[in-house]
Structure 1
């Protein structure tokens, strides 16, 4: 089954700690809240310096999508996130403080429960064959788009694949989040 998840239909939700806004793309199980998801993918808007929400027993892969970046302090260690479209793994349960480098940013945020199968996260361009894929495809770039077997994805649109063969044509940076069924 293939499910189109248009960006236009996503509601902004306050972060768990109230310090920012996120727009959920998909989660498992479907409709699970913050305390019950196995995995969750969202686009987070960071408009000001401050702490990230803490998620006990959760891992995350964060990918800078828009903006100049962030200077993070994760569990007391500095972590510079200033390259777009480069997935970075971070623990979700360590205190994380953020200082924006030059204005607001948008991050693709993939989270999963520790002990569950970790999603894979890659940002691609070009043609990619996906065989029996369980994946979430997200078009990341303002100027680029992606096509998956004739379905056009505009900026921040997503397509959930659940076990199909598909061919992705990524005209701009596109995230491929591999999921375990």
Structure 2
């Protein structure tokens, strides 16, 4: 397990002044970035950055919901509910209830497949072992325990070769981020963001 505490993450202001990003980790391959996992403070309405060639899964962690307007479709991102869309879409975000905090998984679908699931307590079980990929467990609510480590809200634990045991009490919740590399020989390294 590699554990990243939220308190260790570094703030990077957006160029448009609309928020802040905290990169948690990236998957670095021979042909560039396979995936990124980051947190964002969204302070105001505005456009999303263009990540053409990537798939984005956005999960609002706290604050209200957010409406995402694209040219031919509209998504509503509600707290704790992952929303998947093309990272190259020209998206305009509208914050319904003011500033919010979200988790973003972005991945190159030619290199890997990604998904995000919400796990709610009470629960005490092993998570399926990652097959040719990795799992990241991100603390959403309460004080979830992975193996014997207590996570605080915003902490992330990475597993590449083992099946973690998750213990969630009433009111605890995790996001399970699962990445699977499409080629058995995919040479993708987990790179923890600079502290």
Match of 1:165, SS state, is coil
TM-score of the superposition, structure 2-length normalised? 0.82
Report the equivalent of 2:173: 173
Structure 1 stretches lacking a partner, 5+ long:
none
Partners of 1:72 and 1:180 lie apart in 2 by: 27
Unaligned 5+ runs, structure 2: 182-195
Per the alignment, residue 187 of structure 2 pairs with: none
Structure 2 CA distance for partners of 1:44 and 1:176, relative to 1, 3 Å:
same
Q: Indicate conservation of the 8 Å contact 1:120/1:178, yes or no.
A: yes
Aligned residue for 1:22? Answer: 21
Counterpart check, 1:129 vs 2:149: no
Q: Which residue of 1 aligns with 2:155?
A: 157
CA RMSD of aligned residues (A): 2.1
Residue 19 of structure 2 is aligned to residue 3 of structure 1? no
Q: Aligned in 2, Cα 1:16/1:179: closer, same or farther, shift over 3 Å?
A: farther
The answer on 1:49 being equivalent to 2:49 is no
Give the aligned partner of residue 120 of structure 1.
115
Residue aligned with 1:85, SS: coil
Q: Distance in 1 between matches of 2:175 and 2:136?
A: 8
Counterparts of 1:67 and 1:151, CA distance in 2: 27
Give the TM-score taking structure 1 as reference length.
Answer: 0.88
Q: Is the deviation greater in 94-103 or in 108-117?
A: 108-117
Q: Deviations over 1:86-145 (max 9, x none)?
A: 11101110100011101101111110013122112101022331243320000012xx12
